Structure 1
Amino acid sequence: MPDTMNPTHLDQSTITGERADLLLALAQHRTMLRHTARDLSDEQAGLRTTASALCLGGIIKHVTSVERVWTAFIREGLSALGAVTDMTEEDWAQRADEFRMLPGETLAGVLDAYEEVAARTDALVRELPGLDVSHPLPDAPWSAPGTRWSARRVLLHVIGETAQHAGHADIIRESLDGALSMG
């Protein structure tokens, strides 16, 4: 399996243009996020180091989930978001576990899950007949009635989420041990 976290894995001879740009942006931000977890123990990956409830392992778990859900949306449409739009109070409590390292979870396992989702996303980008395929989004609170997102727009959203959370992770890592990922 190619290292989907490393931007140099892209074969520019077969993937070009907009798809190559999207894949490269995803790979670059994934690499930065992964880099924040370098040389950490499982315990360190689960530590809260700021006023936020976030930890490095939890951020990676969350980004993995975001990428998994949104690429399912590209393939399946609104039904892929059904679990998110119809969540109960218990579902929201379980979702909070996505933001922390749970007993028995390891940083290696979290990173492996992220790698698997990244590989599936990259394959989807390569195989899609076009980036204009679109599906409606759920109505408010997420979007206005009738809003549709194309595969392109979803991928831009995933890139934005990954970049934003890589920045969060950098702050948490610096607070943990002074290491900088982006500085």
Structure 2
Amino acid sequence: MTDTSPPETPTQPLSQERRDLLETLRVHRHFLRTTVQGLTEDQARTRSTASELTLGGLIKHVARTESAWADFAVNGPSSMEGPADGDYSDWENGFRLTEDETLAGALARYDEVAARTDALVETVDLDHAWPLPPQPWFEPGATRTARRVFTHIVAETAQHAGHADIIREAIDGQKTMG
């Protein structure tokens, strides 16, 4: 069987592009994590806006999404296939903390995912491209390079950090970003 995983590049020294990606990821992760500092479990589960989103759910969602895209950067489309039966109910649970989950657990998972992604940003061939899996939200036949995957993770994290800031401000008035 042929190995189709992207080739790794030397880890030292990191290119400016890789350093920029890592710094930008870390900045937006910091903003997201700051929004949940000092929260109780109840507050982490609070819907404080018209949205269904909660702070704990956002942490869980961003970790899950980052992990899926990092898997894609290494393993390609097979790592992002949807359920064979079309049942996306588990996807909905990715936006909320279930009864057996805690904010601390979601943050610990996010730390694990972030460490893995950072290691991939340092080593994966950024030009390696994979075809996107057949999903209704992807253009048929489109591909993504590892570079574009990591840029997408930055955008996803930044977008949800903004959501989290609004949700937190509605809970107790605390603002993360201004």
Q: Which deviations, in whole Å up to 9, do the C-alpha atoms of 1:87-107 show, x marking residues without a partner? A: 522xx1122111112112111
TM-score when scaled to structure 2?
Answer: 0.89
The aligned counterpart of 1:80 is 79
- The structure with the greater share of residues assigned to helix is 1
Aligned CA distance change for structure 1 residues 46 and 76 (closer, same or farther; 3 Å): same
Separation in structure 2 between the aligned mates of residue 123 and residue 179 of structure 1, nearest angstrom: 33
User: Offset of 1:133 from its aligned partner?
Assistant: 0.3
Aligned residue runs from structure 1 range 11-160, under 5 A: 14-82=13-81, 84=82, 86=84, 88-89=86-87, 92-128=88-124, 130-139=125-134, 141-160=136-155
Gaps (5+ residues) in structure 2? 1-11
| Aligned CA-pair RMSD | 1.4
- Structure 2 letter corresponding to 1:94: D
Q: Secondary structure at the match of 1:124?
A: helix
Separation in structure 1 between the aligned mates of residue 128 and residue 117 of structure 2, nearest angstrom: 15
Aligned residue runs from structure 1 range 3-14, under 5 A: 14=13
Q: Secondary structure at the match of 1:168?
A: helix
Separation in structure 2 between the aligned mates of residue 44 and residue 33 of structure 1, nearest angstrom: 15
TM-score when scaled to structure 1?
Answer: 0.87
Separation in structure 2 between the aligned mates of residue 142 and residue 163 of structure 1, nearest angstrom: 21
Report % sequence identity: 49
Q: Which deviations, in whole Å up to 9, do the C-alpha atoms of 1:100-155 show, x marking residues without a partner? A: 12112111111000000000000111121x20000001245222222110000001
Gaps (5+ residues) in structure 1? 1-12
Separation in structure 2 between the aligned mates of residue 140 and residue 118 of structure 1, nearest angstrom: 25
The aligned counterpart of 2:172 is 177
Separation in structure 2 between the aligned mates of residue 87 and residue 174 of structure 1, nearest angstrom: 39
2:78, 2:133 within 8 Å by CA — same for their partners in 1? no
1:85, 1:138 within 8 Å by CA — same for their partners in 2? no
Q: Alignment length, in residue pairs?
A: 167
1:170, 1:181 within 8 Å by CA — same for their partners in 2? yes
Aligned CA distance change for structure 1 residues 35 and 165 (closer, same or farther; 3 Å): same
Separation in structure 2 between the aligned mates of residue 142 and residue 108 of structure 1, nearest angstrom: 32
Q: Which deviations, in whole Å up to 9, do the C-alpha atoms of 1:41-84 show, x marking residues without a partner? A: 111101110111110000010000110000000110010111x2
